[in-house]
Amino acid sequence: MSSSPLRICVVTSLFPSPSQPHRGIFAEHRWRALAARGHSVQVVHPQPYAPPFVGGDWGAIRRMPARETRGALRVSRPRFLHLPGRPVQNAPRFARAAWRQADTPDVVVCDYAWPAAALAPLCRTQGLPCLINGRGSDVLEVSGEANLGHELGKYLAEASGWSAVSQDLVRVMDRLGQSAGASHCGTLIPNGVDQTRFFPREQSACRKQLKLDEGGPLVLVVGHLIERKDPLLALRAFERGAPLDARLLFVGAGPLEGAVRGEIQARGLESRVRCVGEVEPEELALYYGASDLLLLTSTREGRPNVVLEALACGRPVLATAVGGTAELLGDSPMLVEERDPEVLGQRISTLLADAPTENYLQALVEDLTWERSTDTLEAVLRSLARG
């Protein structure tokens, strides 16, 4: 009985689609890995009704198919009424839209805690096991706003359990859930890194393949250009501390791209800094191989996948000491407490001149494989399904 396949319904607000292929790609990797073990995985990805004739993200939402198959995953996207500025009311509407799509599962997973956690009361009334999984801003941003933190805490207390990708997130969820009456604690289920894709490569060969200049150090900023990633701090730190022959590449896109480009121009850095945009994972591995340093200046983090990937590629990381990043880098010169461009700039210079060895960097993540991550997730879900 314990080895029989599970029927799993994953409810999430962030998942890849044809119009947004890079959104939530790590969540898809996790659930594909579980489906590959013979489990039936249904993904419900509710979307708000999108106003007509509006572009940007709204246009991408309108173009999302109501149903699609992604490998072994069945994905459905029911619509719900989303009112701007009403997150407490929107979350139950999100949950009800998802609930109507669930195909008699053994267990429901609310992947990305908010707003999916609003499913917990519905699951409880039906005696259906429910796991709420936190990944980063879905917990940290919500917990920073009093009314939403209280709401999330109530949903956690009604769930069968909760988990997160970093111990820091687990602690935050424990605090929220226990303040609402829960007596148990959450489980750490870290993401893995695909070490068949992300591994050390010959730098000059990667630069040739990407048509990048061979000379000088290369610093990468990888991720969405959004406020909590603070790409402008990364730019200023690079300007203050990187040697004059160094270059900086922003790999990613987002609402701050215009501000980043404007700052590059205002500071006269066009010859040294450029924005590459979003790239496929295979190409991203080449950028890591071509680089000398990954720079991450976030104000909040879960456990960033870009850090896992860079370390697996044998490339050093310089990151601000927030959330699960500190759990990965520990007491090392790659972690900085201050959000000061001068301090960060000096550390860029130090790491470019004297980087840790590839073997040391790979060893930091050698145990963080998708196989081990899936083992832990599978064990948690089986335990919940058994009640």
- Mean pLDDT for each consecutive 10-residue tract of the chain (387 residues)? 84 94 89 96 96 83 94 96 92 97 95 96 96 93 83 96 95 96 94 93 97 94 95 98 97 95 97 95 96 96 93 97 89 93 97 95 93 96 92
Write down the pTM of the prediction.
0.90
Question: How high is the pLDDT of residue 1?
Answer: 38
Q: Span 7-192+369-385: which CATH code?
A: 3.40.50.2000
Q: Is the peptide bond before 115 cis (omega within 30 degrees of 0)?
A: yes
Q: List the one residue out of 67, 123, 137, 57 whose CA is nearest residue 95.
A: 123
Residues with Cβ < 8 Å from 371, sequence gap 6 or more? Answer: 33, 192
Question: How high is the pLDDT of residue 55?
Answer: 76
Superfamily of domain 203-363: Glycogen Phosphorylase B; (3.40.50.2000)
Q: List the one residue out of 184, 193, 190, 189 whose CA is nearest residue 159.
A: 184
Residue with tokens 């699951």: 123
Distance of CA 13 to the CA centre of its chain: 12
Question: How high is the pLDDT of residue 330?
Answer: 83
All CATH 3.40.50.2000 domain ranges of the chain, comma separated, are 7-192+369-385, 203-363
3-state secondary structure string across 69-100: EECCEEEECCEECCCCCCHHHHHHHHHHHHHC
